[in-house]
Structures are given as C-alpha cells and as structure tokens.
With several copies, the nearest count.
Chain A
C-alpha cells in the first residue's frame, strides 16, 4: 500500500527532514509512527499525500509513484486517502456539517448519500450536536474530531492521521483508537502519528520510530517481532 524506498527529503532551506527512509506498509496494516518533535513524522505523511515531493528515492502509494502523478490526477489520488491533519485544516467559512460533507461533494456523491453519511460519522466522533457550528467556535479537541470525521466519511482505503488525539482527553483518545482499529478491521490501512506511548502500548500495533529523519525502530513495542532497519 505504502512503499518508501531510500527516500530523502530536504526542505528549501537545506534542512534534511528525512534521510534514507525505507518503509513498507501492506494493505490492511495498522501502524503507529512515533518520534520526537521535529523528527520528520509529519514530513513522512506529507510525502504520502503528495503535499511535498521527495528529494530523492521513490514514494509509492497504492502502486502509484507520487512523483509521477500528473497534475490532473492528484485530486483523484488524494480522494483514496483520508487525512487527519495535525493542524486540523478545517475550512473556516463552512459549518462542521459542510466541512465533512465537502469530502463527499468533491467526489460528486449524490445528496442522499451525503445526508446519510455525514450525520453518521459526526455521531461516531461525538459531535452530532455541533453540526451547525463554525470551526472557530469549537474547542481544540472538537476541531480535531471534525477533521477525523472528514477523513473517514469517504471510507478511504488508506487513512493517515497526524496526532489525531493530541488535543483529546485519554478516555476519548482510547475510543478514537478503538474506532480506527474498527475501521482497520474493515480493510482500511491506517498510519497514525502519536506521542501517547500508553496508547501504543495498549493497542500493540506495529510501531515505527523515527529519530532525526531516520527510521530507528520498526515493529511491536514491548514484544512482537521488531524489524530493525539495516
């Protein structure tokens, strides 16, 4: 599903955010990505979404080399990926409902479909009563959950979530990871960046640790088979 081969990413100012990253995630996997602040986790996800292009190496997602995508194809490529952004990225002038519906509208979904799916997913993240609010009138955790609902509403084949529980209390964080696990069991590949080690330990999925742009650990934390990087 996601394949990084000798990927290197330098930002415009010469900063090397990723260095020789090799990572293979199969269809249906659930992977935690952990690492210190500034390690390069978000950069990794940005490469998957083609928000940034790799400086060297190849990134293949769904058997597509992201660097080879033509401009016209990018939107369709992105629709197959659900994203929870670290900074939420809600559209400020649309209500919560419209923000979630937007991800369906871009796919030309029929109104009936939108009317059914949007309330369902808002309910799933516990925001059914906030549907008509504007994002700026939500608490931090609520915004984050809207972002999650938007990522899920399309039933994407790949879900990438950048600290989706960073602003959410522990109890609800567990619920959300449970939810992601549920979705994962239904066939969606999940990549989730998190700082909350308790979560990682509790759910025991494959965990990739990044430090200073390099993958330093790959495998279950505390037992399980760790595939150490060469």
Chain B
C-alpha cells in the first residue's frame, strides 16, 4: 500500500469520527459503559479475593507435642515446622501458657480449675498458620511425620469452607466478567452494526466506483481502532476516579467492618496497567472486529 493511501485511510478514519460526531459519541458512550461494567466487576472480584485471603490467614492448626519432648526436642520441632513451605507462621504455646489462657476464657468459673495448676493436663503446642488452605492435607501429613508431634487439631471444615468460598468467588467473578463481556460484545456489536447500517449507501457507492473490499474496510477499521482507544482511555480514567473515590470513602468510613476493609482494599495502582491493557485490547478488538464483520454484509454489491 502506498503512503498516499495510508495517509488517506488514517485521515478518513479520524475525519469520519469528527464528521459523524453523533454516531461516534454513541459508539464511545456504549463502549465506555460496557468497559466500566467489566472493569468494576473485575475490581470487585479482586477485592473480595483479597478479603477472603485475609479470612484464610485467620485459619490455624494446633500441633500438640509429646509430653516427653523437652528442650532440644522443641527446637528440633520448631526448625522442622519452619522449614515447611506451606507455613506462614509458627507460635509456641507452652502448657503453662495454655492453662492460663483456658482459665481466663472460663472467666469466673476458671477459678474452679486452679487446682489443675499442680497437675497440668495440657500439652506443649504450636499454633501454626498455613499459607494455602487447599494444600492442608498434604501439610498436615508432613507435620505428623515430625518426631515429637503427638496429635494435630485442625478445623478441616473451616478449611473446606474457605477453600470452597474462594473457589466460588473465583468462579462467580469469572462468570460475571465473562457474562458482562458477552453482553458488552452484543451491545457494542449492535451499535457498530447500526453505524455501518447507516452508511450502507455510502459503502455501495464506493463499490460502484471500483473500490476493493479492503479499501472500503480500512477506514472503518481505522475508525474502530481509534474509537476503541478513546473509549478505553475514557473508561480507564472514569474507573480510576470512581474507585479512588470509593477507596477514600472506605478509608474514612467508621462503620463496622471498616477496619477489615481498610487493610484489605486493593489499591488502584496495583491493577491499573493490567486494566488499561485489557481495556485497550477489548476496545480495539471490539471496534475492529465489529467494523470488519458488519461492513461485510454491505460489501456484496
């Protein structure tokens, strides 16, 4: 393709956008709305995930030691535990501390247990926090193999619940994004279809003057790409502003849950570049494909 044609195509694409301000605005409006929907649900999923991650970190496993294990044995178990890769933190709780905590928990009734101090029925133990709950079973058997460990108490139900919650959110988030993306595609495709439809006469004329399909399509595609880039940028900026506002609102909020939310909200900067990339890809892709597919129908003259 000659440079002259190329410059013509770009010029045409740009000019068309300004000339058909009406249609361009409509297309941009639709595309921005759709990108916003998808972007917002993506951010929501990310945040819920971050919250669930916090829930997960709250889960712990109690490791009870042999009464025989003392001194060096404890150091050995400690080292071994810390060496496991799925373990986030390890805290030692001696049998004395354990009893004290128990008595405190019982409150007034705890004084009834004072006689137990002489003959402490508890064991030395470790409170272990796992990194990844879905790998719980594997990690438990590793711990069980450490010499000196007698029993392990782990809330398998809680682990399952959190895992399935995480799973569900991942799936639901994915489903929502996919459905919204699908709906957006339908909407944008229809808009482009209308746009092309309103220019079908023009396309016919071009064909009668001897233009090839490619030649007719290229300005439409250039226009589609341009519209995509513009829409992606607008949507990105809007989402940025909106989300920042939301974050500020949460940070300043004094309602229950605010604490948990505040420390687990996903900052915009951490998703910004990826989001913009997605938006660009989506906008340009839909714009281009839409212009290509729907011009086709009117090229057959």
Task: Tell me the A residues contacting B by CB distance below 8 Å.
Answer: 49, 51, 71-72, 74-79, 83, 85, 89-93, 102-103, 105-111, 114, 150, 154
Contacts and interface: CB of A to CB of B under 8 A. Distances in A.
Given A49-B208, A89-B208, A105 B5 contact: yes
B202 A103 contact: no
Interface in B183-237: 201-202, 205-213, 215
Given A75-B212, A75-B213, 4 more contacts: A78-B210, A83-B209, A91-B202, A103-B209
B19 interface: yes
Contacts of B202: 91-93
Given A93-B16, A93-B20, A106 B212 contact: yes
A45 B1 CA distance: 32
Contacts of B5: 105, 108
Contact of A108 (B1, B16, B208, B300): B1
Nearest to A76: B210
B4 A114 contact: yes
Given A51-B301, A93-B20, A93-B202, A107 B208 contact: no
Q: List 9 A-B pairs, minimum CB-CB distance, nearest first.
A: A79-B210, A78-B210, A111-B4, A106-B211, A75-B212, A89-B205, A75-B210, A106-B210, A93-B19
A58 B223 CA distance: 41
B19 A78 contact: no
Contacts of B205: 89-91
A91 B12 CA distance: 13
B208 A102 contact: no
B274 interface: no
B209 A150 contact: yes
A116 B201 CA distance: 29
Contacts of B207: 74-75, 78
B206 A83 contact: no
B197 to A, nearest CB: 13
Contacts of B201: 92
Given A91-B202, A93-B16, A110 B208 contact: no
B2 A102 contact: no
B249 interface: no
Contacts of A91: 202, 205-206
Interface string B81-113: 000000000000000000000000000000000
Contact of A102 (B1, B4, B16, B206): B206
A108 B210 contact: no
B8 to A, nearest CB: 6
Contacts of A49: 208
A58 to B, nearest CB: 21
A107 B210 contact: yes
Which interface residue of A71, A83, A106 has the most chain B CB atoms within 10 A? A106
A102 B209 contact: yes
Given A91-B202, A92-B202, A93-B16, A78 B4 contact: no
A89 B207 CA distance: 11
**Most chain B CB inside 10 Å of its own CB: which residue of A85, A111, A114:** A111
A51 B215 contact: no
Contacts of B1: 108
16 contacts: A51-B301, A71-B300, A74-B207, A77-B210, A78-B210, A79-B210, A83-B208, A83-B209, A85-B208, A91-B206, A93-B16, A102-B211, A103-B209, A105-B4, A106-B206, A114-B4
A65 to B, nearest CB: 19
Nearest to A93: B19
A102 B209 CA distance: 8
A79 B212 CA distance: 10
A105 B209 CA distance: 10
A93 B202 CA distance: 9
A114 B205 CA distance: 20
Contact of B209 (A92, A106, A111): A106
